[in-house]
Each structure stands twice: as C-alpha cells, then as structure tokens.
Amino acid sequence: MNKIDYLRISLIDRCNFRCNYCVPEGEKLDYLLQQELLNYQELLTLLEKVFIPIGFTKFRLTGGEPLLRPGIVDFVGEVASLSGCDDLAMTTNGFLLNKLAKPLYDAGLRRINISLDSLNPEIFDKMIGNGGKSRWEQTWQGIQAAYEVGFNPLKLNVVVIKGINDAEILDLAALTIERNWHVRFIEFMPIGNGKLFNESAWLPSAELREGISQEFGLIASSIKGNGPADVFKIPGAKGTLGFISQMSECFCDKCNRIRLSADGWLRPCLLNETGQINLKDALQNGVDISRLKEKVRDLLYLKEEINFKERDRGTVGAYGRTMSQIGG
C-alpha cells in the first residue's frame, strides 16, 4: 500500500469567488454555520493527537477560501510549531494575499499554491463569477506580494477548460521562464458544475504538453512535489510546469493524501465518500483518542480498494457536494 502521510484540511466552505468550474452560475449554496465548523482547538487536537502520531507529516490548508477564516494567521503559527509537522502549505485564490502574505510567512507558512486560471482580466473575472467587479488586479498583486516576501518557489494552479482559457496555455507556461514559479495545469473535473463539464469537457494533459513542447521545448524536471503532478520544464527556465491528469491518466496508485472537510468529515478520496468518518461528532461525543486513531488507520487500509474499485463514483450522475464543500 502506498504510504499515506498527507492531509488536506478544509478550514471553511465559504469563498469570495464563485469559479464556474466549482459553482454553477446562479446556484444558491447552503454554507455551514460557524458552530458547524471544526474549531481551531479541535483541529489542533486532531493533528497533534491523531494524525501526527500515526505518521502524517504533510498538511495543506484549503477551503473554500482559507483566508476568509478569522484567526488564520495565528492558526498557521500553531500548526507550523507542532512537532512532527514537516511540511505546511496552503491553497488560496490570492485575493487577500496582498495584506496577509507577510504575516503568514512570518507565522511559519513556507509553501503556497494560488489559483490563477487566466492572465486576461476579462476571462479571469468571467471564470471567477465576479458579479460585475473586477478582481484580477488585486489577485495579481497578491501573487506578487507572496513572491516578494519569500514564497519561493511559488505555485500557480490553472484549471484548463476548453473554449474558455485553453488559448492562454502558452502565456501561462511562459511565466516560468524568468521566475521560479511552478505552474500546474489541472484537468477539469465534473465536481460542482456538471453542466459546464458536459458542454466544455476537459483537455488531456498530453495535448497541453504537446503544444508547449512545440513552442518552447519541454524536458523532464528533477523537481518533484508532494502531489501527483508530472513535472517538466522549459529548457533554461527558472520554474517548472506540472500536469495533474486525474481524468486522462489515473494516478490512484500514487495517491498519498486524504481530506478533512470543514465540518469534520474525513474522506479517503476526492471522488468517493465511502468509509468517511465524522471526526467532529466523535470529538464532541468524547470518543477516546486511541479509538479515533484506530478508526483513521482502518480508513487508510480501505483507501487502496476505494481508489481503484470505485474510481468512477462522483464522475457520473449527480454529486452531492461542490469542491468548496469537500475541500480543494
């Protein structure tokens, strides 16, 4: 069984964007109430007494948009100081980073992924569902601020949607030439917006690699991350290009993570809820820590079977939660 040592932690299901691949236009979401979220003390208890003792060393804070959670900087400092936390990262849309990049870095955060699906302000605003107010400039300023305070390398996540932002692949790839930025191209998945998926579908990573290779050349990179990306680089470039091919190239056998939703559900797979555990209820009902560790270990043993045998669950038909509710 592949070693599972990476936990993605959703801190909040709310987001200040409504990206069209995550939330269909006009759809009303029922957000969690504050008391329904795992509070910071519950999260720290789970990390310190359950996950780290059974071998988890890598943690990523996600959402929703994690920077919307009050007290985020202090919480980052608490997690970063935990003995056994070898790697702490965050995924954000970058809109609030202009003011928070330095406090987060000073608190101990060292790796950050920022969603940037377009370099064209009009396309960007269309994709994030801006409600008539452009958010491109503030997001770009947040990216610059993060790089300047020391998040180096900086990772940019790009969800590629045919007919919307696929014409920008070369421009986005070129960001890595002069900067130590890692751009990650992600195949569009049918979670959150099945209608858009059916209309636009996804572009296979192999097709993107071919286009980039023809324009710039492309070689394998010696740099490997914590995730499933196949990493390449443009010859002579300072940064790298990664391709996350969850639709065209199954990487279940390499998966090393599980996910904790903002309301406390521990799930073994992004596309599969089989075997998930409600850790918030367990804590509030006084379940013994040793029993919690046992339940998490049992879920890890289930993961390999779930990944392979039920991989299609969530990719067809109706799916109950959006990405912001699951935790990106």
Q: How do residues 203-259 score in pLDDT, each as one tens digit?
A: 899 999 999 999 999 999 987 777 778 999 999 999 999 999 887 887 777 789 999
Packing angle of the helix pair 121-128, 136-149 (nearest 10 deg)? 100
pLDDT at 28: 77
Amino acid residing at 321: R
| pLDDT, average across residues 307-313 | 50
The burial of 63, by beta-carbon neighbours within 10 Å (0-12 exposed, 13-18 middle, 19 or more buried), is given as buried
Check whether 315 has a pLDDT greater than 50.
no
- Residue 130 CA to residue 17 CA, distance in Å, equals 7
Minimum mean pLDDT among 21-35, 49-63, 83-97, 125-139: which range? Answer: 21-35
The answer as to whether 145 is a domain residue is: yes
Amino acid residing at 248: S
Q: Number of folded domains in the chain?
A: 1
CA angle at 186 for the pair 245 and 150, rounded to the nearest 5°: 125
pLDDT at 274: 78
The answer as to whether 1 is a domain residue is: no
| pLDDT, average across residues 272-285 | 90
Q: Of how many residues is the chain composed?
A: 328
Domain of residue 309, CATH code: 3.20.20.70
The residue written with tokens 């060292």 in the block is: 110
The dihedral sign for the CA sequence 175, 186, 127, 134: negative
Check whether 314 has a pLDDT greater than 60.
no
| pLDDT, average across residues 106-126 | 96
pLDDT at 84: 97
Check whether 318 has a pLDDT greater than 60.
no
272 compared with 123, residue with greater pLDDT? 123
Q: How do residues 148-159 score in pLDDT, each as one tens digit?
A: 999 988 999 999
The answer as to whether 215 is a domain residue is: yes
Amino acid residing at 111: R
Q: Which domain holds residue 225?
A: 6-326
Band the pLDDT of 27: cuts 50, 70, 90: confident
Check whether 311 has a pLDDT greater than 60.
no
pLDDT at 10: 96
Percent of the chain with pLDDT over 90: 67
pLDDT at 155: 96
Cα R_g (the chain), whole angstroms = 19
- Identify which of 260, 279, 276 has the alpha carbon closest to the alpha carbon of residue 325: 260
Check whether 164 has a pLDDT greater than 70.
yes
254 compared with 72, residue with greater pLDDT? 72
